[in-house]
């Protein structure tokens, strides 16, 4: 059997590796249109900290490990330009020309591409920030030019992380955001703390901005002109699904079943090109993350080798990012989703300390949502200092196991002054919820 995988970064390489681990006799060919092997894209903002640190340090595996040790036919600089899902072949372009590759099973792992804003294209001082080549260009420009002032277009997770790194390097940073608020999946209590932190650190944020023109060193907008030495655009992503004639949903993301199979038999899809099963609402959502892509790749591999027997467990929408001294985290449904679904929910908010009688630590704000009828926990958001990310993981686990707020409030969590107060912040919030 021959399996062709289109895309070799997160989900694609995970799928390939697991197929070969379970059955070495299966021929696995991976076509990756870029020149870089699988890498951790989430580490890109932090690779900027050291301008001399090679971007290749973000590689998850070396080329030799993939090809020689894992036995994968991994072909870089190979772009799939056509896919005939009925005749079971793909047309591939490389530096030598074009050729046809037949397959028995196809895996679509093409990821998502950065949304492009045409007025920034081909501008020598403007950059996107999605691939390792983007990172190379950004680092080279900063190293070889006098960069004191940076304009970030878009205020998503990536640009907020980039803003921190550039401010720590002493650069003046400002963000232009098209929407009337940032972090739309977060509630006002969390968002306000992010606004205050950005202001405290000297990162200027402008909302409701429509950019009308771009000249070298300047943009024109509906609220005035802004000058900068460089511009970094991170304005969301779009699934790379155009080549494939399969059922698609929101944003053109590919719809799969729980076995990761598409509407076309023998064609699987994993990663940021797909919708993903949300176990809270028993439906698919678009929530692109590398962790999800890797899990989907493992599930698809098992089903390719053993037949469709393993279901993808699903996600509960857990994500986190760092912003200076803060960690910002979320899991479960957002207020927008619950309102849209007509869920009658209770919201509880507390701000409390993260440790006991021990130096260090800080304060954190915890928000927990639970269903008013069956009292199951639906979601949580957090922001603060010290250990926040692992606390959101506790609630992600509770949501995955359909715990009620009443059960959760009495969990036997660890206590020691260096790590937590007697009542952990998540338990303080849950106790307040049941007192209502």
At a CB cut-off of 8 Å and minimum separation 6, what does 214 contact? Answer: 119, 120, 123, 126, 220, 231
3-state secondary structure the chain: CEEEEECCCCHHHHHHHHHHHHCCCCEEEEEECCCCCCECHHHHHHHCCCCCCCHHHHECCCHHHHHHHCCCEEEECCEEEEEECCCCEEEEEECCEEEEEECCEEEECCCEEECCCHHHCCCCCEEECCCHHHHHHHHHHHHHCCCCEEEEECCCHHHHHHHHHHHHCCCEEEEECCCCCCCCCCCHHHHHHHHHHHHHCCCEEECCCCEEEEECCEEEECCEEEECCEEEECCCEEECCCCCCCCECHHHCECCCCCCECCCCCEEECHHHECEEECCCCEEECCCCHHHHHHHHHHHHHHHHHCCCCCCCCECCCEEEEECCEEEEEEECCHHHHHHHCCCEEEEEEEEECCCCCCCCCEEEEEEEEECCCCEEEEEEEEECCCCHHHHHHHHHHHHCCCEHHHHCCCCCCCECCCECCCCHHHHHHHHHHHC
Dist CA 172 CA 161 (whole Å): 15
Dist CA 15 CA 107 (whole Å): 8
Dist CA 125 CA 233 (whole Å): 11
Place of tokens 């202001």: 199
Q: Please check whether residue 263 is in contact with residue 310, taking contact to mean a CB–CB distance below 8 angstroms.
A: no
Degrees (nearest 5) of the Cα angle 406, 410, 414? 145
Token couple for 140: 């080279």
Degrees (nearest 5) of the Cα angle 94, 95, 100? 30
Q: Please check whether residue 202 is in contact with residue 132, taking contact to mean a CB–CB distance below 8 angstroms.
A: no
Of the listed 42, 151, 187, 429, which one is catalytic? 42
429 is catalytic: no
Q: Which residues are catalytic?
A: 42
């Amino acid at each position: 059997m021959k399996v062709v995988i289109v895309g070799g970064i997160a989900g694609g390489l995970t799928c390939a590796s697991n197929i070969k681990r379970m059955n070495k006799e299966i021929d696995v060919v991976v076509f990756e249109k870029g020149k870089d092997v699988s890498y951790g894209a989430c580490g890109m903002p932090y690779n900027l900290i050291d301008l001399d640190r090679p971007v290749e340090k973000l590689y998850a595996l070396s080329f030799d490990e993939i090809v020689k040790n894992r036995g994968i036919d991994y072909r870089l600089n190979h772009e799939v330009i056509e896919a005939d899902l009925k005749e079971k072949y793909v047309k591939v372009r490389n530096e030598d020309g074009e050729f046809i590759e037949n397959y028995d099973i196809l895996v679509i792992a093409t990821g998502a591409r950065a949304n492009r804003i045409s007025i920034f294209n081909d501008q020598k001082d403007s950059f996107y920030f999605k691939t390792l080549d983007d990172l190379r260009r950004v680092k080279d420009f900063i190293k070889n030019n006098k960069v004191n002032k940076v304009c970030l277009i878009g205020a998503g997770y990536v640009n907020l992380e980039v803003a921190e790194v550039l401010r720590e390097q002493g650069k003046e940073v400002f963000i232009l955001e098209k929407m009337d608020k940032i972090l739309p999946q977060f509630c006002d209590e969390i968002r306000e703390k992010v606004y205050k932190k950005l202001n405290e650190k000297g990162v200027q944020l402008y909302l409701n901005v429509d950019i009308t023109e771009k000249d070298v060193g300047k943009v024109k907008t509906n609220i005035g002109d802004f000058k900068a030495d460089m511009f970094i655009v991170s304005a969301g992503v779009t699934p790379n699904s155009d080549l494939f004639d399969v059922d698609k949903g929101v944003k053109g993301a590919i719809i799969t079943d729980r076995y990761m199979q598409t509407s076309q038999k023998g064609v699987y899809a994993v990663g940021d090109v797909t919708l993903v099963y949300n176990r809270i609402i028993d439906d698919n959502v678009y929530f692109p993350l590398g962790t999800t892509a890797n899990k989907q790749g493992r599930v698809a591999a098992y089903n390719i080798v053993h037949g469709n027997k393993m279901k993808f467990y699903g996600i509960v929408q857990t994500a986190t990012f760092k912003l200076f001294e803060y960690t910002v985290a979320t899991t479960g449904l957002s207020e927008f989703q619950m309102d849209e679904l007509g869920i009658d929910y209770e919201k509880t908010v507390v701000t409390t300390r993260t440790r006991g009688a021990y130096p260090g630590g800080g304060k954190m704000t915890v928000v927990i949502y639970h269903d008013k009828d069956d009292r199951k926990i639906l979601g949580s958001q957090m922001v603060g200092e010290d250990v926040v990310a692992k606390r959101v993981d506790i609630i992600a686990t509770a949501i995955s196991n359909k715990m009620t707020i009443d059960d959760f409030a009495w969990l036997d969590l660890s206590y020691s002054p260096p790590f937590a107060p007697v009542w952990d912040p998540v338990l303080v919030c849950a106790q307040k919820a049941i007192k209502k």
